[in-house]
Structure 1
């Protein structure tokens, strides 16, 4: 029989173990940093924006046990659409991969087997920041550790469907949120 005081200690131990596990999976970048303004190289070229439309360098470490592949997403929750704006969805990144080079999207440098889904601009791959003038928007770059080797998606899936399938198979995720305004 558990003593009254031991039950909360037991729960605390579980919470602490889960928190420690989540802290092990980290996303880092030599291109972007938490809370900082994106450089013009990560800004879209079009829709009134003038940028390099380059995907940032990303590295991750501490993937949880059971990781079979990764997905990368970049999302603007502040876009005035009612559903945000998907800037990047890359899935089926092999579990052996732990980084992407600067400009990997669109330059044929994505790992073999990776599928880049059309962003909300309508083009496959990374689409840079381009908020309405005078607005500051957040850009959430996330690496998802997935419990499946491959997401089974139809040809040309919507970002909503890709997001659902990523979410349904995510073990853990790590993120960096940068900002941009013009």
Structure 2
């Protein structure tokens, strides 16, 4: 498995939990990608919440990344920034394309499919187990000031030096 945090500053961690992800697995195929051909996939983002972030947190960023995608650089499925510090949960389907379930001020960036929404897991059939990292990043700034057309990688670059802590919820998917 590729380590998506290799080369990043080691920061404290906090807890991330989900009603829709448990024991390292998604609870329903609807959280997988129908857009990428998974039967029953609906590209609905799972519910999740977090606790224990540092008190000096000014905003959060959420990312979903698959380092095992056969691209040479992994695949960013979702990126949301500028989540206010008082928020500690995103509901199911917060990653929809109309932004109706995101907190005011939050910005959804284009994923690697260039869609400003959540794209569910969709490892190529027979490619083996893919490891997904749903990460909540606590930042010391209220806003990451970059273009709303920026890539998740560019978002990460601009977060560098502002991350106070992170919480990670991992899950695995394999399509046989």
Same fold at TM > 0.5: yes
Work out whether 1:171 is the aligned partner of 2:164. Answer: yes
Q: Which residue of 2 aligns with 1:3?
A: none
- The whole-number CA distance in structure 2 between the counterparts of 1:37 and 1:111 is 24
User: Measured at CA, do residues 100 and 155 of structure 1 come closer, stay the same or move farther in structure 2, by a change above 3 Å?
Assistant: closer
- The whole-number CA distance in structure 2 between the counterparts of 1:157 and 1:56 is 23
- The whole-number CA distance in structure 2 between the counterparts of 1:122 and 1:180 is 22
Q: Which residue of 1 aligns with 2:112?
A: 120
Q: Is the 8 Å Cα contact of residues 30 and 58 (structure 1) preserved in structure 2?
A: yes
User: Counterparts of 1:23-172 in structure 2 under 5 Å?
Assistant: 25-37=14-26, 39-50=28-39, 51-106=41-96, 108-134=100-126, 135-172=128-165
What RMSD in Å do the two structures reach over aligned CA positions?
A: 1.8
- The whole-number CA distance in structure 1 between the counterparts of 2:59 and 2:23 is 24
Task: Name the TM-score, length of structure 2 as normaliser.
Answer: 0.86
Q: Is the 8 Å Cα contact of residues 72 and 141 (structure 1) preserved in structure 2?
A: yes
Larger radius of gyration: 1
Q: Is the 8 Å Cα contact of residues 38 and 180 (structure 1) preserved in structure 2?
A: no
Whichever structure has more helix as a proportion of its residues is 1
Task: Give SS of 2:164's match.
Answer: strand
Q: Is the 8 Å Cα contact of residues 77 and 139 (structure 1) preserved in structure 2?
A: yes
- The whole-number CA distance in structure 2 between the counterparts of 1:90 and 1:103 is 13
Q: Is the 8 Å Cα contact of residues 44 and 127 (structure 1) preserved in structure 2?
A: yes
